[in-house]
Amino acid sequence: MSATSLTALAAQLKAKQVSSRELAQQYLDRIAALNPSINAFITLDTEKTLLEAAAADALIAAGQAGPLIGVPIAHKDIFCTDGWLTTCGSKMLHNFVAPYDAHVIQQFKAAGMPSLGKTNMDEFAMGSSNETSYFGAVKNPWNTAYVPGGSSGGAAACVAARMAPAATGTDTGGSIRQPAALCGITGLKPTYGLVSRYGMIAFASSLDQAGPMAPSAEDCALLLNVMTGFDPKDSTCLERDKEDYTRDLDKPLSGLRVGLPKEFFAEGLNNEVAAAVEAAVSELKKLGATTVEISLANSKLAIPVYYVLAPAEASSNLSRFDGVRYGYRAPEYGNLDDMYCKTRAQGFGAEVKRRILIGAYVLSHGYYDAYYLQAQKIRRLIAEDFNAAFKTCDVILGPTAPGTAFKLGEKSDDPVEMYLNDLYTIPANLAGLPGMSLPCGFDGKGLPIGLQLVGDYFSEAKMLNVAHQYQRVTDWHTRQPEGLK
């Protein structure tokens, strides 16, 4: 594919050099050719995609051209999509055709952006490698022996392989940023509350947040303009005026103070990742930024805190899957209780069950204070570290993940080893802060390296400005996997 930036695609559509239908067909052809080896999609529906594209073409012909009208997008299979199979990567929802649209889907439909399909993901977004999906693992387009990261692994892989110009993702502990890093694309988790969670299948409600995934920061800014907005159907969605997240993209970086948390450059960080991130810091300095060392002393507790809070919320959220109203029901059972127990035993995969059990335990009588309450208190300490840091810097920079992509099967038998992947991404979720990952190099094996930016609340425009300026002077984000071009 030649031009893939959303700005370029939108310009071609407006100039009538290509129709939305033609563009969608080009991507569907590429999906047909590449998806069998990548497994980035769970559901494709060519007819629906082309109908939506034809509707966009009609709007373009009528002169109703929004900024991204007619540009196709792939949606993570966590978003309920009216008339589409919506599985959340689980056997529990293998037959669930959503009867309504998530708010995020409504927004993209209103923007005239056809859906290319539903992307693969870790089951109920629980995983960092996309190996827990009931529909099979996703392969990393840079090397199909390696994982794409997770949980939005299908989204990251389909964008990296240019099977879609952009995709939606969700991030509870790093599920947008870590796969973006491992697949060499750009992804942003907004401030908690900016994007409605309505119709987004819940994992840990106080942490879940949807965001855009695309090759560049400029693309992400345009997508964020579509995704954000108040929605009364999500009680935690914030009532704020709509922002234009592209407004600061071209601002110079002179005077920018970049905070480098010493804890993010300590033991456990892969040398090649450290070198690439340090090289990116040098580029930002050339653009006029200064650096300041900061400390996020409690961030080392983020993983234990997260593995109390997220499973606790998950055990409550996932209690709705009982085989009564939708989804899977065990074929044979005795009484009602037996039906619940068998349905849940058969419908959930191993990692989901583990997390439900952890959650049920930490919330159970006699353990609540020692686990759940203690974790909530440390959550505040982690958030306060960030508040203090933002008094001396404008944006925080570090690695997205401690290493690059690992081999399929390498960590799938050791949950704790898998959890450590999200060491640098979880703190922003706990604090509710925006975070993004952008490509900043490759390791010796040719696998992408991701750089993370964490901003203060509602500073997405500034983070996108920093990322865009970096991407103007580097070309990591334009690289594509060999053999897939």
- Binding residues for other proteins, rule: CB under 8 A, are 95-97, 99-100, 192-193, 206-207, 232, 235-236, 238, 298, 301, 303-305, 307-308, 315, 319, 322-329, 333-342, 344-345, 348, 353-354, 356-358, 360-361, 364, 370-371, 373-381, 383, 415-416, 419, 430-433
Structure tokens at 313: 């919320």
Please report how close the Cβ of residue 361 comes to other proteins at its closest, in angstroms.
5
DSSP string, 100-116: S--HHHHHHHHTT--EE
How does DSSP classify residue 183?
Answer: H
Instruction: Select 148 or 211, whichever has its Cβ closest to other proteins.
Output: 211
Please report how close the Cβ of residue 148 comes to other proteins at its closest, in angstroms.
24
Q: Note whether 456 and 187 are within 8 A (CB).
A: no
Give me the catalytic one of 19, 90, 152, 175. 175
Please report how close the Cβ of residue 200 comes to other proteins at its closest, in angstroms.
16
Q: Which residues pair with 215 in a beta bridge?
A: none
- Please report where in the chains the tokens 């539903």 appear, as a residue: 118
Structure tokens at 285: 């300095």
Structure tokens at 81: 């999509």
d(CA 355, CA 322): 17
Instruction: Select 20 or 172, whichever has its Cβ closest to other proteins.
Output: 172
Q: Could you list the beta-strand ranges (E) of 296-414.
A: 395-399
Structure tokens at 397: 């920079």
Instruction: Select 333 or 442, whichever has its Cβ closest to other proteins.
Output: 333
Residue 282 among the catalytic residues: no
Residue 133 among the catalytic residues: no
As a whole number of Å, the end-to-end CA separation of the chain is 7
Please report how close the Cβ of residue 236 comes to other proteins at its closest, in angstroms.
6
Instruction: Select 328 or 476, whichever has its Cβ closest to other proteins.
Output: 328
Please report how close the Cβ of residue 99 comes to other proteins at its closest, in angstroms.
4
Candidates 439, 443, 484, 450; CA nearest to 215 is 439
d(CA 458, CA 331): 48
d(CA 485, CA 480): 7
d(CA 466, CA 386): 19
Burial (CB < 10 A; 0-12, 13-18, 19+), residue 337, is exposed
Give me the catalytic one of 5, 128, 151, 152. 151
Please enumerate in sequence order all residues whose Cβ is within 8 A of that of 415, keeping only pairs 6 or more positions apart, or say none. Answer: 351, 354
Residue 175 among the catalytic residues: yes
Please report how close the Cβ of residue 263 comes to other proteins at its closest, in angstroms.
14
Instruction: Select 309 or 464, whichever has its Cβ closest to other proteins.
Output: 309
d(CA 267, CA 390): 24
Amino acid found at 38 = I
Sign of CA dihedral 207, 105, 71, 156: positive
Instruction: Select 279 or 303, whichever has its Cβ closest to other proteins.
Output: 303
Please report how close the Cβ of residue 326 comes to other proteins at its closest, in angstroms.
5
d(CA 137, CA 121): 8
Instruction: Select 149 or 427, whichever has its Cβ closest to other proteins.
Output: 427
Catalytic residue IDs? 76, 151, 175
